[in-house]
Amino acid sequence: METTLVLLKPSCVQRQLIGEIVNRFERRGLQVAGMKMMQLDDNILREHYAHLVDRPFFPALAQSMKASPVVAMALRGVEAVAVVRGMTGYTNGRKADPGTIRGDYAMSNQQNIVHASDSPENAKIELERFFRPEEIFEYNHALLSFLYATDER
């Protein structure tokens, strides 16, 4: 099992799509292991987007991520990182495939609804960045035997 980080960005929160996006992850079979609303600040954003701080769009990106609270989610499942990235779609919503979250809800490269960790290594780092250990729960997933074959779990 893997656990991955998703942020429902201000573009999701403001457009009142929180329930719709959470529903997609739940219907896919991912278990919600943690979820909370939080207001991001420059410190956490400079850390989270360290690979982008020198890009010209960074100030606008930081502004867009501070425009309202975000919802941070820890989602668990077999190969959850790749599954969630696949559901997220290409960064630019205008280029994202229909059927992906960005391809269904976004028209923008920046106001693109969700963030999702891009590797298991980054998922671990990002979960630690946004959650305290006691905010991520291990609990019985009652439907497990109907979501996976025994040799997949």
Give me the residues paired with residue 7 across strands: 72, 115
Stretch that binds ligand TYD, among 11-19, 104-112, 130-138, 139-147 (CB under 6 A): 104-112
* Cβ-based neighbour number of residue 51 at 10 Å: 7
Instruction: Among 32, 82, 109, 144, indicate the residue that binds ligand TYD (CB under 6 A).
Output: 109
Residues 81-100, one symbol each (x = binds ligand TYD by CB under 6 A, - = not), give: ----------x---------
Residues 31-70 that bind ligand TYD (CB under 6 A): 52, 57, 61
Compute the distance between CA of residue 29 and CA of residue 81 in angstroms, rounded to an integer.
Answer: 13
Stretch that binds ligand TYD, among 33-41, 66-74, 110-118, 140-148 (CB under 6 A): 110-118
Helix (H) / strand (E) element for 8: namely strand 2-8
Is 115 an active-site residue? yes
Whats the size of the chain, residue-wise?
153
- Residue 106 half-sphere exposure, CB side, CA atoms within 13 Å? 30
* Cβ-based neighbour number of residue 131 at 10 Å: 20
Choice between 95 and 153, CB closer to ligand TYD: 95
Distance of CA 83 to the CA centre of its chain: 11
Q: Under rule CB under 6 A, how many of the chain's residues touch ligand TYD? A: 9
Choice between 118 and 135, CB closer to ligand TYD: 118
Compute the distance between CA of residue 120 and CA of residue 2 in angstroms, rounded to an integer.
Answer: 8
Q: Does 118 bind ligand TYD (CB under 6 A)?
A: yes
Site residues for ligand TYD per CB under 6 A: 52, 57, 61, 91, 109-110, 112, 115, 118
Catalytic residue set? 115
